[in-house]
């Protein structure tokens, strides 16, 4: 069960700050840089990406929005052994975390910068990449154009982004929702996504738009695939992946009913065109689904394949 509006707490990495709605400004994605990111990928799928994009030939790597280095660690094992990494991150807190994490690894430099005010570099890059960043960006094309300028001719753009709208609409008839209740829930999420975008927080379904945007930014040879990792849930909920991703059973039960404040969800839904009656119906369906998720965990009856729409896009900078 995904929290209603959990992603709204993340900010727009290179634009409006989602934390501006709060009196306390935290660094972006503070609640999302947890160990579960280490379990997002199957090792053989990463090997496939290496083979498909010849990552072992990439010696100069630039990462946008590096956070605390989850994606960096994986790429280190896929790129050339002597590859150098330049990690762009706007948050001083995460820059400090990156410097601590890679203090004993030569060839990794963390740079505090914004993509709209990038520093100059002494040579182009073989690979420019980001993971779950563009979903928070107001002007995605600006970031893609910057990536193209920084790549050598024929250099690789590698982007990982989700379609979280599809991820949120995962419910089955076993949940007990009627068709009308599921329709109300879908309308709430649809309006929430539209309103969130209108408030300046990016597009959580950005994966669906990226093919057009990548080509329009001037890239060629676009290919795409989908991460094959599923976030399984099945009793007794005690496998390593389940406890890392969802927490202990006690934590998972508590998290199932932790919804965003109604006022914040209503603000987004209102901006997205949902009326008060539609919101109340959708919120009631959301609460019902949350309760049944919690009850299913308590009873040991909840089972889920844990579908997650993570798309991986690769494209090449033009030679002319």
Tens digits of residue pLDDT in 206-217:
999 999 999 999
- Cα torsion 11, 12, 13, 19: sign: negative
Instruction: Indicate if 41 and 152 belong to the same structural domain.
Output: yes
Nearest-angstrom CA–CA distance, 207 and 165: 10
Distance set, CA 58 to CA 75, 119, 127 (Å): 10, 21, 6
- Tell me the pTM: 0.85
CATH number of the domain to which 64 belongs: 3.40.50.150
* Pair (185, 315) in one structural domain: no
φ, ψ for residue 89, nearest 5 deg: -150, 130
Tell me the C-alpha distance between 160 and 134, whole Å: 9
| Confidence (pLDDT) at 36 | 64
Q: What is the pLDDT of residue 35?
A: 60
pLDDT for the residue 257: 86
Residue 243 included in any domain? yes
- Do 313 and 300 share a structural domain? no
Tokens standing for residue 248:
């202990």
pLDDT of residue 6: 33
In a domain, 221, yes or no: yes
Same domain, yes or no: 315 and 297:
no
Residue 17 resides in a domain: no
Asked if residue 174 and residue 72 are part of one domain, the reply reads: no
Q: Do 294 and 195 lie in a common domain?
A: yes
Residues 213, 240, single domain; the answer is no
Q: Which residue range forms the structural domain that includes residue 52?
A: 33-163+204-230+307-320
Cα–Cα distance, 297 to 157 (Å, whole number):
41
Question: Is the domain of 171 the same as that of 287?
Answer: yes
Q: Indicate whether 122 belongs to any domain.
A: yes
- 221 shares a domain with 131: yes
> Are 37 and 115 members of one domain?
yes
Residue 45 lies in a domain: yes
Q: Under 8 Å CB-to-CB from 78, ≥6 apart: which residues?
A: 46, 49, 50, 55, 56
Q: Distance between CA atoms of 247 and 261, rounded to whole angstroms?
A: 22
- Give the tens place of pLDDT for each residue, 219-256: 999 999 999 999 899 999 999 888 888 888 898 888 88
Q: What is the mean pLDDT of the chain?
A: 87
Q: Are residues 41 and 100 in the same domain?
A: yes
Residue count of the chain, please give it: 320
Query: Could you read off the pLDDT of 288-301 as tens digits, one per residue?
Result: 999 999 999 999 99
pLDDT at 116: 66
312, part of any domain:
yes
For position 24, what pLDDT does the model report? 39
Look at the alpha carbons of 165, 167, 173, 176 in this order and tell me if their dihedral is positive or negative: negative
Do 134 and 50 lie in one domain? The reply is: yes
Q: Specify the pLDDT at position 265.
A: 94
- What are the phi and psi torsion angles at 285 (to 5°)? -65, -40
How many domains does the chain contain in total? 2
On whether residue 129 sits in a domain, the answer given is: yes
Going residue by residue through the chain, which has 320 residues, state the pLDDT in tens, using 9 for 90 and above.
233 333 332 333 333 333 223 333 454 544 444 566 778 899 999 999 999 999 999 999 999 999 999 999 999 999 999 999 999 998 999 899 999 999 999 999 999 998 767 788 889 999 999 999 999 988 999 999 999 999 999 999 999 999 988 888 877 777 888 999 999 999 999 999 999 999 988 999 999 999 999 999 999 999 999 999 998 999 999 998 888 888 888 988 888 888 888 999 999 999 999 999 999 999 999 999 999 999 999 999 999 898 888 999 999 999 97
Exposure of 118 in the CB half-sphere (CA atoms within 13 A): 19
DSSP letters of 125-177?
EEEEEEES-GGG-S-HHHHHHHHHHHEEEEEEEEEEEE-HHHHHT---GGG--
Closest-CA residue to 188 (of 257, 282, 284, 289): 282
Position 118 in a domain: yes
**Where would I find the beta strands (DSSP E) of the chain?**
60-64, 84-89, 108-112, 125-131, 151-162, 220-226, 310-316
Q: What pLDDT shows up at residue 170?
A: 79
């Amino acid at each position: 069960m995904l929290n209603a509006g959990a992603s709204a707490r993340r900010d727009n990495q290179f634009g409006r700050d989602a934390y501006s709605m709060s009196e306390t400004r935290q660094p972006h994605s503070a609640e999302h840089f947890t160990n579960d990111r280490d379990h997002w990928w199957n090792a053989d799928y990463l090997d496939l990406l290496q083979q498909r994009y010849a990552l072992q030939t990439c010696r100069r790597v630039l990462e946008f929005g590096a956070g605390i280095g989850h994606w960096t660690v994986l790429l280190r094992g896929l790129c050339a052994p002597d590859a150098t990494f330049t990690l762009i991150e706007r948050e001083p807190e995460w820059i400090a975390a990156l410097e601590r994490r890679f203090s004993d690894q030569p060839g990794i430099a963390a740079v505090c910068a914004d993509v709209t005010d990038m520093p100059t570099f002494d040579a182009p890059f073989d690979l420019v990449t980001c993971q779950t960043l563009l979903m928070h960006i107001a002007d995605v094309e600006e970031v893609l154009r910057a990536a193209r300028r920084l790549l050598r001719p024929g250099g690789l753009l590698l982007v990982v982004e989700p379609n979280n709208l599809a991820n949120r609409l995962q419910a089955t008839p076993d949940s007990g929702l009627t068709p009308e209740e599921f329709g109300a829930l879908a309308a709430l999420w649809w309006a929430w996504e539209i309103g969130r975008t209108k408030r300046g927080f990016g597009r959580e379904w950005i994966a669906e738009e990226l093919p057009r945007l990548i080509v329009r930014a001037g890239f060629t040879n676009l290919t795409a695939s989908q991460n094959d990792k599923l976030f399984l849930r099945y009793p007794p909920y005690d496998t390593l992946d389940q406890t890392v991703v969802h927490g202990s059973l006690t934590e998972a039960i508590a998290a199932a009913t932790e919804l965003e404040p109604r006022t914040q969800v209503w603000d987004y839904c209102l901006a997205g065109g949902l009326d008060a009656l539609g919101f109340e119906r959708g919120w009631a369906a959301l609460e019902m689904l949350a309760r049944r998720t919690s009850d299913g965990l308590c009873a040991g009856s909840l089972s889920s394949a844990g579908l997650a729409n993570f798309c991986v896009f690769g494209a090449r900078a033009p030679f002319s």
